[in-house]
Amino acid sequence: MAIIDVVKWNAQADELVWKFPSEQLTTSSRLIVSTSQEAFLVLGGEITGPFLPGTHILDTNNIPLLKHLINIPFGGSSPFSAEVWFVQKTSRLNLLWGTMEPVQLLDPKFNIPVPVRCFGQFGIRISDSLLFLQKLVGTRTSFSTEQLTEQFKAMVQTKVNALIASAIGGSSCSIFEINRHLEELSGNLAEKIRPGFVEFGVDLVNFFVQSVNFPQNDPAVTALRESLSKRADMTIRGYNYTQERSFDVLQGAAENEGTAGMFAGAGLGLGMGAAAGASVAPAFAQSVSGILNTAAPAAGNRCANCQSCLPENAKFCPECGNPLQVSCCGKILPAGTKFCPECGNPLQNPKVNQ
């Protein structure tokens, strides 16, 4: 194999770590490390580095270990064999995460189990290149962002599931309202997840929860959405569920034919009103009073002659024709008055007030 004079990065853009394909070097070979990169040499199982951005000649001045591993003649160039590893230290901010299966969580407001799914994005940067090489790369010849995402997927999902369950269960916030708190949730998750990355020489630059959603066809989700829609409608109309049931009973009582049906319906309504409490009682009592007053004339408004019920402001009894008012001296007097209180005129044959 030919001796390599120049060693530099020549990998795909999504690679985080890349091993130079040839190990045939000389003490005059140049190692070129680009900006935001670090390089390491592996000689006889020992790691030398890091080599920071710039151009490095692979001689004994830069690699003291060479004096102990190879016999370098005075002057000239001496070949030796070594692995060269490059580590890319730029931040990668477009890594995606998500829950594989919906997580069953109990909604704290409605006490209904709802399947929840979460999705988001996070960013990383290799902070300790040597630790990353030793703990994650191993014998691989390269390590990509996709491999890193796969490596941390289980840890991220476990932390996300536990924290979302804790955040929702420890508050009065409904699962349907959780998207209003995504910024706070993202910050809490980042703090919980970061130590798991640091252990492998990776810094978690950011972590975002972009969406908390639910399978739309799940029966629990459908039932909860309908309940929320119903509650919103009642809020707009200005009453609650108990009041709505009381109003339904009152309407049924008012529409029921016959005195027995009316009072049976009213009695049931009173029971519902009592369960509703003080907030429902005034409106309920007013409604019952309206029903009863509409159904029959007030007690005492009857004809003195035949005891028939009289319409309001009637001048004659609609049953027997008995006059209900008389007049004298320009005044209207009750029927049955024998003398005018103004002039004393006898009213035995009173003139009916027309």
pLDDT digits (tens, 9 = 90+) for 267-281: 444 444 444 444 444
Higher pLDDT, 240 or 165: 165
Higher pLDDT, 245 or 327: 327
pLDDT bin (cut points 50, 70, 90) of residue 232 is low
pLDDT exceeding 70 applies to what percent of the chain?
Answer: 68
**Two structure tokens written together for 94:** 């477009």
Is the separation of the CB atoms in 29 and 56 below 8 Å? no
- pLDDT number for residue 162: 83
Determine the average pLDDT of the residues in 73-88: 80
Distance separating alpha carbons of residues 13 and 136, to the nearest angstrom: 19
Higher pLDDT, 35 or 340: 35
- pLDDT number for residue 317: 79
pLDDT bin (cut points 50, 70, 90) of residue 117 is confident
Tell me: pLDDT of 168 over 90: no
- Report which of 139, 138, 142, 123 is spatially closest to residue 202, judged by C-alpha positions: 123
Distance separating alpha carbons of residues 349 and 225, to the nearest angstrom: 77
pLDDT bin (cut points 50, 70, 90) of residue 242 is low
Residues 6+ apart with CB under 8 A from 210: 119, 120, 121, 182
- pLDDT number for residue 313: 66
Tell me: pLDDT of 85 over 60: yes
pLDDT bin (cut points 50, 70, 90) of residue 177 is confident
Average pLDDT of every residue of the chain: 76
Distances in whole angstroms, Cα of residue 208 to Cα of each of 145, 185, 186: 17, 8, 5
Higher pLDDT, 116 or 354: 116
User: Does the predicted model carry a pTM greater than 0.95?
Assistant: no
Determine the average pLDDT of the residues in 100-108: 81
- pLDDT number for residue 139: 82
Please tell me the total number of residues recorded for the chain in this structure: 354
- pLDDT number for residue 3: 77
Q: What is the DSSP letter of 309?
A: B
Beta strand spans in the chain (E): 6-8, 15-19, 24-26, 30-33, 37-43, 46-51, 54-57, 79-81, 83-88, 92-98, 103-106, 113-126, 142-144, 202-213, 325-328, 331-334
pLDDT bin (cut points 50, 70, 90) of residue 241 is low
pLDDT digits (tens, 9 = 90+) for 189-218: 899 899 999 999 999 999 999 888 877 777
- Output Rg (C-alpha) for the chain, integer angstroms: 46
- pLDDT number for residue 69: 61
